[in-house]
Structure formats: structure tokens, C-alpha cells
Structure 1
Amino acid sequence: MESINFSDVFKSSILEKTSSFSIIDSIIGLTAAFIIGLFIYMVYKKTFTGVIYSHSFNISLIVMSMATALIIIGISSNVLLSLGMVGALSIVRFRTPIKDPMDIVYIFWAIIAGILCGAGFILIAAVGSILIGAVIVTFINRIKVENPYLLVVRYNEASIEKSLEHVIAEHVKKHCVKSKSIMPGNDHEVTYEIRVNDNNTSFMNNISNLDGVKSAIMLSYDGNFTA
């Protein structure tokens, strides 16, 4: 019966699985992932249009590119390891809510860049990232988009509805009623979706000066509304 000593444990299984591992290729892949991740970082910072800029989220895009590349480099030469990694990652659940759809685009972009760099397709990752960055910068910074607003008006006389409609139609490009409610005390509240001319909000004074209007509020609107 053949005996097995302590050194035999490290002779074959571990060394054979790492025989195809290349430090130079790994460094090149991680470096490329870092550079492309840095490019994604700069594009995100330049095109951010939200209220609160998250520096930590932007940094995570760089780390995400490098971490994804590291995983691909590790599993590219071992089929069993790749299947085990897929099983391990399938149990991961991300609880952080992502409200801006563009954040999902950046996360997906960082992951794809990491996969391509880890697999050795660095040129494809670089060219694709440049084109994606150019599209994002062009459409966000160069093309003007008319953001809609919500106009909420509360009044206590149904007779001023025609005057209210006239003032709104005269000063905005487009408007439509999103909701209307009648509250106790005969108070009415109507919500309009409006698009203003060159962000001109001076008509709010005209609405507030109408007899019977209690309040008029205009809010930024992202396209989703629940009555």
C-alpha cells in the first residue's frame, strides 16, 4: 500500500491548477481594468445631473471593474472553479436600492469592462468604453431635455377652474391633468403635469393672485406619478 506524506498534498493539485497562471497577463488585465474604470469614474463625475453626488459610488465603479477582471482571470483556466464561482455568486443579494436608471448603466458598464479585461479582450473594452462614454456625454451634456414639472394648486371655489386653465395654457408649452380631488370643506386640489418655456416660472404669481387659490406648488417631476 502506497503511503502519502505531507508534501504530496502540495505536489500536484494546487501546482497543476496554477501552472497556466501568468502574472504578467494578470497585471496587464488588472491595469487595463483600472484605467477603464478610471475613465468610467470621470464620465460619471462629468455627466452627473442628480442632487447629491456620491463619491463612494463613483469609486466603487473602479473597484468593480478590477474585481470583475480578477474573478475572470482566476476562473478562465479552470472550468470547475468557474462553475463553483457561479454557484457562490448566485447567493449574493444586493440590498442597496438604485433609484437612478443611469446608475445601473454605469454598474453594468463597469462589470462588462472588467469581464473583457480579465478575458484578455482589452482593445474591445477600450474602444467600447470610449464609444459608450462619448454617447453618454453627448446625450446628457449636449442635448437639452425639457424636464416636466408637477403643478399642485389648491383652491376653494370651483368657479376659478376656467381662469386657472387659461393662465396655465397661456404660459406653458404643454399641460395635462394628472389628478383632481375634493377635500372636506369644499377644498379642491388639482395636479398638472406641465412643461414650461425656458424654465420660466413667473406665471406662478398669476396663479397665486387668483381669487380663491389657497396655494400653488411646482415640483420637479421624473415621469413617475402615483395618485
Structure 2
Amino acid sequence: MTFQDVFTSSFLERVDAVPLLDMALALLLACLVGLFVVFVYRRTYSGVMYSASFGATLVALTLVTTLVILAVSSNVLLSLGMVGALSIVRFRTPVKEPLDIVFLFWCIAAGIVLAAGLIPLALLGSVFIGAVLLAFSARRNVDRPYLLVMRASTEEVARAAESLVRERARAASLKSKTVAPGCIELDFEVRLRGEDSALVDELAAREGVSDVALVSYNGDYLG
């Protein structure tokens, strides 16, 4: 092989297989869609601590998927080799929140559609998916459950406190009751009327009630 053969190789002939303008436009749109996915993810996140690294992962996943599909669409043989190469990849990172899987697939699908040149489908589809997720999130926040834990000294005090909880809360369900000498612990799943948390102060002010705690949770900890 001569020095001239290097510059006439088939490898260099594929440099312009994907036009530079198409590549720049696809990656730019993929970045914008990825940022929109992160925005929806932050607005719909219901966990305790938001992970900034997962948000960066969503943007990077959209870009990487777009890059791979651009390469695959430019060469049939490359697409076959890519399928074989990706078939050996295994991901072992557990996904604790089921909704996170939706965002991962959303990024992959958006990257594929953008690289295929179906820009209106990618943009309008992402807006529609985001609107649906935001609507479900708003509904979930209105119906947010709380865990109310209180300790009463006697059975009479516990019954009176339970009556107050059922009267003031929009919905209340007794989850557990623990009886010990001189102490009765009641655990309720409650749904408040709006953001009214004055129920906690009213229970704590009652004679015979020693401790009252109101904790927000996602409804999965207790059956």
C-alpha cells in the first residue's frame, strides 16, 4: 500500500456519507428534545432527591442514539454490524422508579425518529408525551397521600383523635395500630383538603396525645 492509497481508501470515502448540515441539525434538535425531556422529568419527579446525573444521562442518551442512527442509515453493512455489536451490550444498573424507564425509552425513540429525518413526528410527539406526563403528575400531586403517625395515652384518646382525623381529612385509612403499656400508636394514610396541615397542630394540642408526625410518601410503603 502506497501513501497515495491511504487517501483513496474506502474508509476516507465514507467521510461525507452524512452531510455536515444534516448531522448538525439532527444533533441540535436531539439536544433540544433531550433538554425538554429533562424539564418534564424534573416537573414530574416525585422522589426525595432529584438526581442531576440522570438528567444529564437523558440528554446524552438522546444525542448518542441520534448519532448511532445517523451512522446506520448511511450504510447498510454498517447497520448489520452495529446490530451485532450492540447485541452483546448488557446494562446492569437497576432502575428503581418505573417511570424512569419511560423517560429512557422516550429519549431513545426521539433519537431514532430525529435521525430518520421525521422531525415533525419527533417534536410534536415529544410535546404530546410531555403534556400527558405533566397532566398525570398534576393529578397525582392533588391526590398526594400522607402518612400520619400519632401516639395516644389511652384508648379513649385514640378514638377521639381518630374521629378528628376522619372528620378533617378528605380521606383517611387506618394502616396499623400498635398497643403498648401506656401508649397506643396509630398509623393513618390520609389525603388532606388542599395543603391544609393544621390537623397536625390540632391533634398535638389534644390532651393525651404525645407525638404527631405527618410524612409525605408515594403510597408504596404500606399495603
Residue 201 of structure 1 is matched in structure 2 by 197
**C-alpha separation in 2, matches of 1:81 and 1:159:** 74
Residue 110 of structure 1 is matched in structure 2 by 107
The TM-score normalised by the length of structure 2 is 0.79
Residue 214 of structure 2 is matched in structure 1 by 218
With over 3 angstroms needed to count, the CA separation of the structure-2 counterparts of 1:75 and 1:48, relative to structure 1, is: same
**C-alpha separation in 2, matches of 1:67 and 1:44:** 19
Stretch of structure 1 that moved more, 47-56 or 150-159 = 47-56
Contact 2:153 2:209 in 1 (8 A): yes
Fraction of identical pairs, as percent: 33
- Counterparts of 1:7-22 in structure 2, within 5 Å, are 14=11, 18=14, 21-22=17-18
CA offsets 1:74-126 (integer angstroms, 9 cap, x no match): 2332243122232232x23225x544x44433222212111112233222111
Contact 2:65 2:108 in 1 (8 A): yes
Residue 84 of structure 2 is matched in structure 1 by 84
The TM-score normalised by the length of structure 1 is 0.78
Query: Given the alignment of the two structures, is residue 155 of structure 1 paired with residue 152 of structure 2, yes or no?
Result: yes
With over 3 angstroms needed to count, the CA separation of the structure-2 counterparts of 1:58 and 1:19, relative to structure 1, is: closer
**C-alpha separation in 1, matches of 2:50 and 2:222:** 26
Contact 1:167 1:206 in 2 (8 A): no
With over 3 angstroms needed to count, the CA separation of the structure-2 counterparts of 1:107 and 1:197, relative to structure 1, is: same
With over 3 angstroms needed to count, the CA separation of the structure-2 counterparts of 1:71 and 1:53, relative to structure 1, is: same
Q: Which amino acid aligns with 2:193?
A: N
The CA deviation at 1:186 is 4.6
With over 3 angstroms needed to count, the CA separation of the structure-2 counterparts of 1:213 and 1:103, relative to structure 1, is: same
Query: Given the alignment of the two structures, is residue 59 of structure 1 paired with residue 56 of structure 2, yes or no?
Result: yes
SS of structure 2 residue aligned to 1:150:
strand
Q: Number of aligned residue pairs: give it.
A: 218
- Among 189, 202, 208, the alignment partner of 2:185 is 189
Contact 2:144 2:218 in 1 (8 A): yes
The CA deviation at 1:224 is 1.0
Unaligned runs of 5+ in 2: none
- Among 1, 8, 19, the alignment partner of 1:23 is 19
Query: Given the alignment of the two structures, is residue 175 of structure 1 paired with residue 172 of structure 2, yes or no?
Result: yes
SS of structure 2 residue aligned to 1:88:
coil
Contact 2:38 2:55 in 1 (8 A): yes
The CA deviation at 1:37 is 1.8
The CA deviation at 1:128 is 0.5
